[in-house]
Structure 1
Amino acid sequence: MTPISIRREAVARACLKRFEGRQMQFGSADCVRLAAHAMHKLNVPVPLLKGVRYRSELGAAKALNAAGFADLAEAMDAMGFARIAPAMAWPGDIVAGRSRDDGPFRYALSVVHEYGAKRTIAFGPNGFCGVGTPDLTNPDDVFAWRVSHG
């Protein structure tokens, strides 16, 4: 194993340690905080979240809109990471897939657990965080970003 792969697998383990089994709670245990934790563990600053506080879905949607983004994929693009095919994703990279139809964010973020995004760490439909298999069947609904580490 290379030092980069060891570090990235440690990032995935750190995300699991912090979030696995936790119930979704806006502002402290949600997909944005999960992705930010992975970035932090890769020594990547997350300036978009500096000073941003929210405790509800409505508060999170207002914060996203106030920052000038239509959805979470736009916010991830603003981070400056290269978009990649999900099949190219490494542990610690970020994947966005369609969220529920009536939700204000359009996408939900997850952290890659296994190479190729075969499994990701995410908050599932049951509201709890865990490792699961993302739906990668429709490439128009799934985006991935290579999180460049510092």
Structure 2
Amino acid sequence: MRRLDLPPVWLLLFALAVLVLSRLDPWSLRLEGAAVDLAAGLLIGGGALLVAVAVVQMRQARTAVLPRREAAHLVTNGVFGRSRNPIYLGFVMLLLGWVLRLGSAPALALVPLYAWVIERRFIRPEEEALARRFPQAFARYREATRRWL
């Protein structure tokens, strides 16, 4: 079961919940229009790009991409210079874009819930591990770079 406890799996579960909620919306609260469609596309495209760039940077640094694996290096440049968690930020962008694409106003509530789950299950333990592995460097990084944006 622990193998399935990964951020992309949580993203998929929340995306399915958004789909179900958008189909069962008893209030018919819809998000519609060209601006919503544009925002959805930008969030989905931007989120996917952010995840891809962050993964490439981690691979170039030869450090662990998967959660719960020990990091060989602390990556602080590139997209990691703007956010300590660009992959998770990208996932949140993807989920928000999906909500907008489906036009489900009630499903908007699932986006902060997803961010909360990810922060509790993955971000905090990862940051604790990085603080143990790279105490001084991570302290400086945490002070200089925000967790999300």
TM-score, structure 1 as length reference: 0.27
Greater Rg, structure 1 or structure 2?
A: 2
